[in-house]
Amino acid sequence: MTEIIVRWAVLGIVGFPALAVLALGLRAWLYHPWSERTTVGIVASGFVAATVACVVTIAWLLAAGLGEVRVPLGAWFSAGHYSFQWNLVADRLSIPFATFSTTLLGLVAAFSRRYLHREPGFARFYLLLAIFGAAVEFVVLAGSLDLAFLGWELVGVTSALLIAFFHQRPGPVEHGLRAFVTYRICDVGLLAAGVALHFLVGTSDVGPLVGGPWAGFVVPPTWAGATVVGLLILWASMGKAAQLPFSGWLPRAMEGPTPSSAVFYGALSIHLGPYLLLRAESILQSSWLAAGAVVAVGALTALHATFVGRTQSDIKSALAYASMTQVGLIYVEIGLGFRYLAVAHIVGHAAIRTLQILRSPSLLDDHHRLEMAMGRQLPRTGGHLERLVPDALQPWLYRVALERGGFDAFLKDWIVSPFLRLMGWIDRADQAWVDYLSKPSVARQRKKQPNEVLR
Amino acid sequence: MTTTFAAFQLLLLLPMSWVVGRSDSSRSARVLARRTMLAAGAIALAQLVWNTFDFPSLGWLEQWLSIEASPPWVPAFSLISCLMGFTAVSLSPIRETRPTTFRRILLLILVALLFLSARNPIALAFLWSASAVLTWLELRDLRSAPKIARLFAIYHLPSSVAFGLGVLFLTQGRISAGLVLLLAAIAIREAVIPLHSWFPPFVQFAPMGVVVAFFAPQLGVYAHMELLRGALPEHLAHAVASFGALTAVVAAALGLAQTHARRALAFLVMSQTGLVAFGLDTSSAVAQIGALLTWQVIGVATAGFAMTLASLEARRGDVSLRRAAGSFTRTPRMAVAFLFMGFASVGLPLTLGFVAEDLLVQGSVEELPVLAFALILATALNGMSVMRAFFKLFSGSSEHIGEQDLTRREAGTLTVVMATLLLTGLFPGAAVRSLERVADPPHIRPDSAHVGSVD
């Protein structure tokens, strides 16, 4: 009986935010949006109920001394040898994430009520927040890479739409599109990893719990297979985690409403990349190349972001680069196998960064209060870097950091623009061919104007 | 039994199309055409119910005409074709759709319904040509783009001739020549690269209702299934699959470079059609089911997507993608419908498109791994196209230019389309099971009317 209750509780972690989506979405489509108070009530209740469901699951896992509970919900669809299973896993990795996510989302939902009061997109914000919440829980509790992909995609869509929340201005729209394009490029890796796992081991499900603190994906039998899948998962994670070279969208993403910036790019969305790597740790451990690539990507991003972040002149961009630095370090920890450190780092970083971003509109006031309390100006930070970097190198490094390492320019000048130019050229050639075909023939033109010469 | 219901459709649609064409105004023609399509949908629904519950057979017409019974999945496909037709007439703007145009839309849907019911290759050839002639007549009347009719004829006259000769050769046992001619005819109709040049201008300039009625039922896919599937030797089947994959990727990439929403839509549809062509020519039953589902998704989602775009164009005039120049605030329902159906057509999670593309990729990866990964790339690029079009058309401006949101008629129609996509996506089991029988290897009939194998 208790086990059945717990299974329902695990289902509720995803289900309650999904119900909130349904309640908000249907009314909005029928042109009868709820009042602000009711909208917040529905979304916050969904997240509170999901948090309670998380707590029930944790309590049962602790009381029963179990490492995990699996909730098989049956096949979504199946054809021939292939079957897409709904399978949720609540274990030592997913449940802390799920609890933390629902709690944070509930708090942000409550916080945003005043922050977005009378904003024209109030209902839209909460609808997207609820979709995002359900999608994050899908990714976190997914018992297979296929199911994770489902939530992963929805996170990307909601993220782009919230970056472009203030859609009357071209800036946020461009940045939302940029973020979405980055996500899609990296999502190729996730879908390909799922397909590769099906191809190599016959399933993309989370395997049985053996030895480690949590279960991971089934490891391909060969080193090459593990390397390919590991690298694909790394590729997939880099988009949402804003790792080099896919980092340019993150500072631009701060154009969205502050609460969504906090919960997406300070706390949850940006940590889904590391979460995916933690779930795929079994595969990374089987391939030194994939694990080394994780370390390299993380280290390079951390270095890049810490330098670039110091040259930013607005607080949200500075916080975006600070997030990037920390996530880079989390990548290094995961690549080196420090899994518990990585989990603690994620939770700690998410909490502090959310608070910082939420407080960022009050930065000047906070600064002032702090100085009043100390009775003097706040001391400068970053002096240790100035001592470490030789004087001759500092101006060059400053210029490079101001240009964000040149990565944005590189991507634009060497990849995006040539690609669009090539497509434009092919399109123009196609249109020229169409013009040639649809042009009336010379004989027909003469027939139409028989007396042209005589006139 | 299918023939009996097809006869009912013929008795309804043929006289009603004549009545619709003689209406006093486009508005009254649209009302009449809508009601006619509703009645046609009711017949298709009755056929589906009759088939599902195994009511007494109405196969007397088949017996009388001595023709073979249609496959069991035809009723569902007929209903979907009626939904496409209903969407096309309901959302056709008065500005670009004359009573004669509504007549031709009804006739095109009638041709599609008869095509689904016909088993005789000669009848298929006749219907194939009839749909091309109806569309050409409409294009010939276009004053805004007089060259399009010529371009259309340049491509579709050879397509019709090739189709007719192809079935003639097949019935005479000259299999190789017949297959090649049929492949060429179908490749032109399905706008497979490099035989695609007629399609982008066609979508750009023709009335959108005609575009949907001509293209969405995908007669080429049905002809492919009925006449070619299982008949092509492996190397030819793989070549066709490769062209399908090439079309999927290149068209998706070209879609990103478009500056007009209608042309972007054309390349999106071409890309999706490439996926179908790819899937049908793999030997995997799973991939074939995925291809057939993609066929249906193209029909329903793309019809809704295209008609929403037509509604927007009727309000705004120009649907350029050069710069973001719309306002989501004034047309929220239209924006949501546009985004939802755009994403549904490219595989948004929890819609039928996701199921279709997942099956397509998972089924084909063993046989054609490189091409399967190409499909993943195509899907990612298509998603970017949809989001780009959404942002450019529905954001970037705070000016209100008097655009009205969806009317009750439009919203009601799109609600049906969206609900169909969502419900069949959430519960795809029945649809997939019904297609499993279709994906079984086709039986080889002793009479050469149906193709067996080349050797």
The predicted-structure confidence for B103-139, as pLDDT tens digits, reads as follows: 999 999 999 999 988 878 888 999 999 999 999 999 9
For the segment A341-354, the average pLDDT, to the nearest whole number, is 92
Cross-chain residue pair B376–A439, CB shorter than 8 Å: no
Residue B60, pLDDT score: 58
Cross-chain residue pair A79–B285, CB shorter than 8 Å: yes
Residue A369 predicted with pLDDT over 60: yes
CB proximity under 8 Å: A 37-56 to B: none
Residue B398 predicted with pLDDT over 80: no
Nearest CA in chain A to B388: A177
Residue A181 predicted with pLDDT over 90: yes
Q: Which residue has the higher pLDDT, B217 or A299?
A: A299
Residues in chain A within 8 Å Cβ distance of B200:
430, 434
Q: How far is B172 from chain A (nearest CA, A)?
A: 34
Residue B282 predicted with pLDDT over 60: yes
Comparing CB atoms, the residue among A28, A191, A438 nearest residue B151 is A438
Looking at the complex, does the CB of residue B363 fall below 8 Å from at least one CB of chain A? Answer: yes
Q: What confidence category does residue B48 fall into, taking pLDDT thresholds of 50, 70 and 90? A: confident
For the segment B140-166, the average pLDDT, to the nearest whole number, is 89
For the segment B244-258, the average pLDDT, to the nearest whole number, is 93
Residue B444, pLDDT score: 36
Residue B5, pLDDT score: 83
Nearest CA in chain B to A74: B429
Comparing CB atoms, the residue among A79, A198, A420 nearest residue B289 is A79
Residue A108 predicted with pLDDT over 80: yes
Residue B59 predicted with pLDDT over 70: no
Nearest CA in chain B to A25: B336
Residues in chain A within 8 Å Cβ distance of B323:
170
Nearest CA in chain B to A432: B197
Comparing CB atoms, the residue among A80, A150, A173 nearest residue B349 is A150
Question: Of A81, A129, A134, which Cα lies nearest the Cα of A108?
Answer: A129
Q: How far is B363 from chain A (nearest CA, A)?
A: 8
- Report for A82-86, B324-328, B409-413: range of highest mean pLDDT: B409-413
Residues in chain A within 8 Å Cβ distance of B250:
426
- Angle, CA B448 vertex, CA B444 and CA B453 arms, to 5°: 50
- Report for A249-253, B56-60, B388-392: range of highest mean pLDDT: B388-392
For the segment B392-406, the average pLDDT, to the nearest whole number, is 81
Comparing CB atoms, the residue among A176, A191, A419 nearest residue B391 is A176
Burial of residue A65 (CB within 10 Å: 0-12, 13-18, 19+) is exposed
Residue A170, pLDDT score: 85
pLDDT digits (tens, 9 = 90+) for A400-455: 888 888 888 888 889 889 999 999 999 999 999 998 888 766 555 555 555 444 44
Residue B226, pLDDT score: 77
For the segment A327-340, the average pLDDT, to the nearest whole number, is 94
Contact A261, A322 (CB under 8 A): no
Looking at the complex, does the CB of residue A199 fall below 8 Å from at least one CB of chain B? Answer: yes
pLDDT digits (tens, 9 = 90+) for A186-235: 999 999 999 899 889 888 888 887 777 888 889 999 999 999 999 999 99
Nearest CA in chain A to B391: A173
Q: Which of the residues A168, A203, A419, A436 would you substitute to probe the B interface, choosing the one with the greatest number of B C-beta atoms within 10 Å? A: A168
pLDDT digits (tens, 9 = 90+) for B336-374: 999 999 999 888 888 888 888 888 888 888 778 888 888
Q: Kindly state the tokens that stand for A242.
A: 């804003």
Task: Please tell me the distance from the alpha carbon of residue B352 to that of residue B346, in angstroms, as a whole number.
Answer: 10
Residues in chain A within 8 Å Cβ distance of B376:
188, 191-192, 195
CB proximity under 8 Å: A 413-442 to B: 419-420, 423-424, 426-427, 430, 433-434, 437-440
Comparing CB atoms, the residue among A185, A199, A430 nearest residue B365 is A199
Name the least confident of A178-182, A331-335, B72-76, B318-322. Answer: B72-76
For the segment A78-101, the average pLDDT, to the nearest whole number, is 89
Contact B140, B173 (CB under 8 A): no
Residue B105, pLDDT score: 94
Please give the share of chain A, as a percent, with pLDDT higher than 90.
49
Looking at the complex, does the CB of residue A84 fall below 8 Å from at least one CB of chain B? Answer: yes
Cross-chain residue pair A423–B377, CB shorter than 8 Å: no
Task: Please tell me the distance from the alpha carbon of residue A179 to that of residue A175, in angstroms, as a whole number.
Answer: 6
Name the least confident of A177-186, B89-98, B335-344, B439-448. Answer: B439-448
Secondary structure of B272-320 in HEC code, one letter for each residue: HHHHHHHHHCCCCHHHHHHHHHHHHHHHHHHHHHHHHHHHHHHHHCCCE
Cross-chain residue pair B359–A31, CB shorter than 8 Å: no
Secondary structure of A281-318 in HEC code, one letter for each residue: HHHHHCCHHHHHHHHHHHHHHHHHHHHHHCCCCCHHHH
Contacts 24+ apart (CB under 8 A), B234-241: B234/B283, B236/B179, B236/B183, B236/B454, B237/B281, B237/B282, B237/B283, B238/B281, B238/B368, B240/B183, B240/B277, B240/B281, B241/B277, B241/B278, B241/B279, B241/B281, B241/B282, B241/B364, B241/B368, B241/B371
Cross-chain residue pair B148–A177, CB shorter than 8 Å: no
Contact B274, B192 (CB under 8 A): yes
Residue B453 predicted with pLDDT over 50: no
Comparing CB atoms, the residue among B285, B348, B388 nearest residue A80 is B285
Q: How far is B208 from chain A (nearest CA, A)?
A: 20
Cross-chain residue pair B349–A77, CB shorter than 8 Å: no
Length of chain B (residues): 455
Residue B322, pLDDT score: 86
Cross-chain residue pair B148–A438, CB shorter than 8 Å: yes
Looking at the complex, does the CB of residue B308 fall below 8 Å from at least one CB of chain A? Answer: no
pLDDT averaged over every residue in chain A: 88
For the segment A385-413, the average pLDDT, to the nearest whole number, is 85
Task: Please tell me the distance from the alpha carbon of residue B209 to that of residue A203, in angstroms, as a whole number.
Answer: 43
Residue A363 predicted with pLDDT over 90: no
Task: Please tell me the distance from the alpha carbon of residue A56 to that of residue A67, in angstroms, as a whole number.
Answer: 15
Q: How far is A167 from chain B (nearest CA, A)?
A: 5
Looking at the complex, does the CB of residue B430 fall below 8 Å from at least one CB of chain A? Answer: no
Name the least confident of A442-446, B18-22, B70-74. Answer: A442-446
Looking at the complex, does the CB of residue A149 fall below 8 Å from at least one CB of chain B? Answer: yes
Q: Where are the domains of chain A?
A: 1-141, 149-363+385-402, 407-447
Residues in chain A within 8 Å Cβ distance of B363:
79-80, 82
Residue B450, pLDDT score: 41
Residue B69, pLDDT score: 61
